[in-house]
Structure 1
Amino acid sequence: MKIAVIGCTHAGTAAVTNMARLYPEADITVYEKNDNISFLSCGIALHVGGVVEHAEQLFYSNPDQLAQLGIQTHMRHEVLAVDTAAKTMEIRNLATGERFRDAYDKLVITTGSWPIIPQMEGIGLENIQLCKNYNHAQAIIEKAKHAETVTVVGAGYIGIELAEAFQMLGKKVILIDNTDRILFKYLDRAFTDPIEKLLADKEIRLALGQSVQAFKGEGGKVQCVVTTAGEYETDMVVLCIGFRPNTELLKGQIDMLPNGAILVDEYMRTSNPDVLAAGDSCAIRYNPTEQPLYIPLATNAVRMGTLAAHNLVQPAIPYRGTQGTSGIKIYDLNIASTGLTEQGALAAGMNVKTITIIDHDKPEFMPHYENVMLKLVYEEEGGRIVGAQVLSRADMTQSINTLSVCIQNRMTTRQLAFVDFFFQPHYNKPWNLLNQAGLQAMEQERKERDGKVLAQ
């Protein structure tokens, strides 16, 4: 069996390392157009801020390691075309310019994603940087050495982390986003308000609810960002607007969402039975809505890549879907979320209720304890949990992993109320915070029911 894999970051690395173990007799060939594999781009802000001293520490595999597994890895080789009917590919060696063809029995698409680059005036000016791969990380570090003011466009996870890193380096930081709040996709307003206050206290300038329209500069270098609300002088811009799937190779040959994300079934198979796909090139079933959705996360990618390997020959292990579970540390705040926010659920047309708990992480008789804010989003009919968020100076983020499991298993607030959690004063209270959320949801339901009875 001849297996070809296009792209080798997270999903690709997970796929080939598992395939080498599962199919030792197979001929496995990887084509990667970059000069490195397995770079953890989520660590770029840590590198910029000096927490991770060497960017090389953000790699967890390399071509030599794959070669030891018997995998043929062709770096700096770009796949120009794929013919899924003929099972052939056209490839170009980027170092020599040589072009050649290759064939396959099974094809695995792990081409990942690429930053969204707005097409507007001045986008080609120097010091406007992307933030995705190893080379971007090195360029950001080098350019930042000569920048007094840095503007970050996009207030998602990457943008927030970079803004923090630049501020800690002593830079003046401007953070621009077209929504009226930071982390709009991940958190509701009660959670973003204290984070915005913290950023403002650190003198990060928040320019929210405005869209970038152009960049201005002299001598080929950016000097100004023009938005719908004004102009901001700057020495450097980092674009963190979002990502799009790299799937042009397969357009018209397999089924995709309108944004180009490949549609796969629970076994990572595309609409062509001999083509599997995984990672940021794909849409995946989003359990809160039970619909396919594009969620480019490294955690999704490694799971999908592993499953693509296990299901390559025949269906073996189904994917359970995703909740888009994620977390972030901003200065001394620990934040995590899973599933839908309240605003996201309402936008999806769902009829939901919420419970927000503000409590201490440990009993008050303990010498140290911290405030915790937890929000649960659940369906009004039946109480199925569809989302949750947590924020605290204490690390309570693992509670969101627990709630991710609850959403995946379609648990209700009533079931959550009586889950068996341990109690130990160093860690929690007799009634665990998650139990409390379930209990308060039940109490809210009872009061509403009694209110309706009285109104009749």
Structure 2
Amino acid sequence: MKVIIVGCTHAGTITATQILKNHPETEVTIYERNDNVSFLSCGIAVYLSGDVGDPDAMFYSSPEQLSQLGADVHMQHNVTSIDPKTKTVKVTDLVTGEEKTDHYDKLVMTTGSWPIIPPIEGVDSDHVYLCKNYHHAKELFAAAKDAQRVVVIGAGYIGVELVEAYTRQNKDVTLVDSAPRMLHKYFDQEYTDRIQQQFKQKGATLAFNQRVTGFKDYGDGVTVETDKGSYDADIAILCVGFRPNTNLLKGKVEMHDNGAIITNEYMQSSDPDIYAAGDSTSVHYNPTGKDAYIPLATNAIRQGTMAGVNIFGNQMRDMGTQSSSGLNLYGTTMASSGLTLENAKEADIDADSVTIEDNYRPEFMPTTEKVLMTLVWDKKTRQIIGGQLMSKYDVAQSAGVLSLCIQDKHTIDYLAFVDMLFQPNFDRPFNYLNILAQAAVAKANK
């Protein structure tokens, strides 16, 4: 059997590895239009901050490794069209310009995503940068060396991490977003109010409730214009989200309105010989029971694994996702899984939440830290559908416990008394998640 993999970052790399480790007799051909594979773009901020000195360390595979496994790897090759009827793809060698047609038995679409670039006047300025891949990281690193004024557009995960990285370098940083606060999709206002205070203390300017209307070059810089003012900068960075990179299959397989490929639970598209994984497709979002577009490396790796298994016969089902994620900002850990109460209500779920703050371990210990935490549950079923944590203590892995509770449809009653270890170095007789769930039970029983 011949498998063509189009695109090779996370999902494509894992798909190829999965196939060749278990079915080494398979003819696997990879077409990737960049000159690298498997770059962990979520590490760009730690590179730009100086915490990681070598961006090349953020690759977990290479064309050479995939070739050693048995793949026929074609870097800097752009697939220009796909014909599902004849099972062929047209490919252009971006170095030589040579064009050819190739045939597949199964095709895996792992073309990923691309930053959303709003149709704003001046957005193509040389002083406006994107933040997605290895080359973007290198460009930003070089540009920021001599830049003192930086404007970041977009207050999601990437945007706030960039602001933190640049304020730590004592740059003059402005964060612009049309929303009223940062990270509003993932955290309640109590959380964002606290972390925003730290951003302000570090000198960041927070320009919220503002929509960017244009970019105007001047000399060696750019003016970022909004509907409420303007900000001069040496560089501006767009971080307003991502879109699926799926135009090659438009009109050929079923897609969501945003272009994300619709798959079944085996990562199979509406064409049974075309599978999709990673940012090119949607995921099943367990808290709502519906598909959603959640471009995360964790989803891509799981989906790539499933695609690599299921092209030989659908046997590995997708368990869905809770969209668990975490951040470390100025030494504060912020982690979340599932829905906030606001998101739950937007999804027409009759939900409730509770927020408490408690020490992670006993007060008699030499030190301890407060943990701010929230639990969200469905009022009808008492099932947990979301949670948030914030502390100077590393609570990131607790988001994994909440994710498991959501995944397996556990209730607040279950989490309130489920057995967890106790040792004063690590936690209290009741773990802080037990205490949080007990507060939820008390509120639900009123």
TM-score after normalising by structure 2: 0.99
Rounded Cα–Cα distance in structure 2 between residues aligned with 1:353 and 1:48: 39
List per-residue Cα deviations over 1:254-313 (Å, max 9, x = no partner): 111000001111111111111000000010100000101000000100000011111112
Rounded Cα–Cα distance in structure 2 between residues aligned with 1:22 and 1:266: 21
Equivalent pair of 1:126/1:222 in contact (CA under 8 Å): no
List per-residue Cα deviations over 1:229-252 (Å, max 9, x = no partner): 111111110111100000000000
Rounded Cα–Cα distance in structure 2 between residues aligned with 1:344 and 1:222: 39
List per-residue Cα deviations over 1:21-77 (Å, max 9, x = no partner): 121111000000000000011111111111110111111111110111010110000
Equivalent pair of 1:113/1:245 in contact (CA under 8 Å): yes
> Which residue is equivalent to 2:196?
196
Rounded Cα–Cα distance in structure 1 between residues aligned with 2:415 and 2:354: 13
> Which residue is equivalent to 1:210?
210
- State the one-letter code of the partner of 2:137: A
Equivalence map 1:239-388=2 (5 Å): 239-388=238-387
**Deviation of residue 445 (structure 1)?**
2.1
**Deviation of residue 223 (structure 1)?**
2.2
Q: Which runs of 5+ in 1 are unaligned?
A: 448-456
**Deviation of residue 370 (structure 1)?**
0.4
Per the alignment, in what secondary structure is the counterpart of residue 162 of structure 2? Answer: helix
- Please tell me whether residue 93 in structure 1 is matched to residue 93 in structure 2: yes
Rounded Cα–Cα distance in structure 1 between residues aligned with 2:445 and 2:260: 43
- State the one-letter code of the partner of 1:269: Q
Equivalent pair of 2:422/2:431 in contact (CA under 8 Å): yes
Rounded Cα–Cα distance in structure 2 between residues aligned with 1:63 and 1:397: 33
Per the alignment, in what secondary structure is the counterpart of residue 263 of structure 1? Answer: coil
Rounded Cα–Cα distance in structure 1 between residues aligned with 2:87 and 2:443: 58
List per-residue Cα deviations over 1:71-91 (Å, max 9, x = no partner): 011000000000011100000
Rounded Cα–Cα distance in structure 1 between residues aligned with 2:47 and 2:127: 18
Per the alignment, in what secondary structure is the counterpart of residue 192 of structure 1? Answer: helix
- The percent of aligned pairs where both chains have the same amino acid is 47
> Which residue is equivalent to 1:15?
15
**Deviation of residue 146 (structure 1)?**
1.9
- State the one-letter code of the partner of 1:282: T
Rounded Cα–Cα distance in structure 1 between residues aligned with 2:8 and 2:34: 9
Equivalent pair of 1:413/1:441 in contact (CA under 8 Å): yes
List per-residue Cα deviations over 1:331-360 (Å, max 9, x = no partner): 110010000111111111111010112000
> Which residue is equivalent to 1:453?
none
Equivalent pair of 1:128/1:239 in contact (CA under 8 Å): yes
Rounded Cα–Cα distance in structure 2 between residues aligned with 1:56 and 1:93: 25
Per the alignment, in what secondary structure is the counterpart of residue 52 of structure 1? Answer: coil
Rounded Cα–Cα distance in structure 1 between residues aligned with 2:224 and 2:252: 40
List per-residue Cα deviations over 1:180-211 (Å, max 9, x = no partner): 01001111101101000000000100001111
**Deviation of residue 148 (structure 1)?**
1.3
- State the one-letter code of the partner of 1:26: T
Per the alignment, in what secondary structure is the counterpart of residue 375 of structure 2? Answer: strand
- State the one-letter code of the partner of 1:77: H
Per the alignment, in what secondary structure is the counterpart of residue 445 of structure 2? Answer: helix
- Please tell me whether residue 64 in structure 1 is matched to residue 35 in structure 2: no
- State the one-letter code of the partner of 2:438: L
- State the one-letter code of the partner of 1:20: L
> Which residue is equivalent to 1:104?
104
TM-score after normalising by structure 1: 0.97
**Deviation of residue 441 (structure 1)?**
1.7
- State the one-letter code of the partner of 1:197: Q
List per-residue Cα deviations over 1:416-436 (Å, max 9, x = no partner): 112110111011111111111
Per the alignment, in what secondary structure is the counterpart of residue 144 of structure 1? Answer: helix
Equivalent pair of 1:125/1:222 in contact (CA under 8 Å): no
**Deviation of residue 438 (structure 1)?**
2.0
- State the one-letter code of the partner of 1:108: V
Per the alignment, in what secondary structure is the counterpart of residue 114 of structure 1? Answer: strand
Per the alignment, in what secondary structure is the counterpart of residue 15 of structure 1? Answer: helix
Rounded Cα–Cα distance in structure 2 between residues aligned with 1:42 and 1:330: 14
**Deviation of residue 382 (structure 1)?**
1.6
4+ residue stretches of structure 1 with deviation over 6 A? none
Q: Which runs of 5+ in 2 are unaligned?
A: none
**RMSD, aligned α-carbons:** 0.8
Equivalent pair of 1:187/1:389 in contact (CA under 8 Å): yes
> Which residue is equivalent to 1:394?
393
- Higher mean Cα deviation, 210-219 or 368-377? 210-219
Rounded Cα–Cα distance in structure 2 between residues aligned with 1:228 and 1:299: 37
Rounded Cα–Cα distance in structure 2 between residues aligned with 1:400 and 1:262: 28
**Deviation of residue 150 (structure 1)?**
0.4
- State the one-letter code of the partner of 1:329: N
